[in-house]
Amino acid sequence: MHLLIVEDETKTAAYLRRGLQENGFRVDVAANGIDGLHRALEGAHDLIVLDVMLPHLDGWHVLQELRAAERTTPVLLLTARDGVDDRVKGLEGGADDYLVKPFAFSELLARIRVVLRRAQPQSEPVVTVADLVLDVLTRRAMRQEARIDLTAREFALLWLLMRHAGEVLSRTLISEKVWDMNFDGDSNVVEVAIRRLRRKVDAPFDAPLIHTVRGMGYVLEAR
């Protein structure tokens, strides 16, 4: 999942970015309303965390412009004020939820997950390939009734492979989707991560699901 944070307070933005990345999200940050609106209009994000008090163009106007351009990306507003008027204004203006500053990170995370879930009722919260089951909401993997504990990064990697089961995914694509960056040719970050994932998902079981396709990448499938 790819998030956009529009927040001018650099400390808050850095803290949110780090926390959300640790929870497996890809995160872009915009530091003012105009930049935020441009990024939001690209339509590449699954959700936007939008601060109301922003330089150049405030959050209300960003939201207004976004909805006027018929972009339906879910928006979670961060407001410093707790006035009923602001809440009504935000929700009527097309925000999907709002959070009053200061807030606990755990609450933001919970709200983001609720909004994302609501925005994608058609997306299957449980992905199954052969005897491997991944629950996107609880972020747990099970294979043959055995629970597999995954780090946030391993979860993101396994989720990507399972959503594209049967398709060969290149190292470049994997590094873009899971790490939000391109690693240079010498980097073996993806290989190392795949090796660790195999130790958990494949090694304890009879039939491996993660396969290397020489010169091309990796594919997850039952063979």
> Contact residues for Ca ion (CB under 5 A)?
8, 51, 53
Is the peptide bond preceding residue 102 cis, with omega within 30 degrees of 0?
Answer: yes
| Residue among 31 and 210 whose Cβ is closer to Ca ion | 31
d(CA 175, CA 189): 8
| Residue among 30 and 219 whose Cβ is closer to Ca ion | 30
Beta bridge partners of 97: 76
In whole angstroms, the minimum distance from the beta carbon of 42 to Ca ion comes to 22
- DSSP letter string over 34-100? HHHHHHHHTT--SEEEEESS-SSS-HHHHHHHHHHTT----EEEEES---HHHHHHHHHTT-SEEEE
| Residue among 53 and 133 whose Cβ is closer to Ca ion | 53
In whole angstroms, the minimum distance from the beta carbon of 52 to Ca ion comes to 7
d(CA 169, CA 20): 24
In whole angstroms, the minimum distance from the beta carbon of 55 to Ca ion comes to 8
| Residue among 51 and 154 whose Cβ is closer to Ca ion | 51
In whole angstroms, the minimum distance from the beta carbon of 5 to Ca ion comes to 11
Q: Which residue has the CB atom at the shortest distance from Ca ion? A: 53
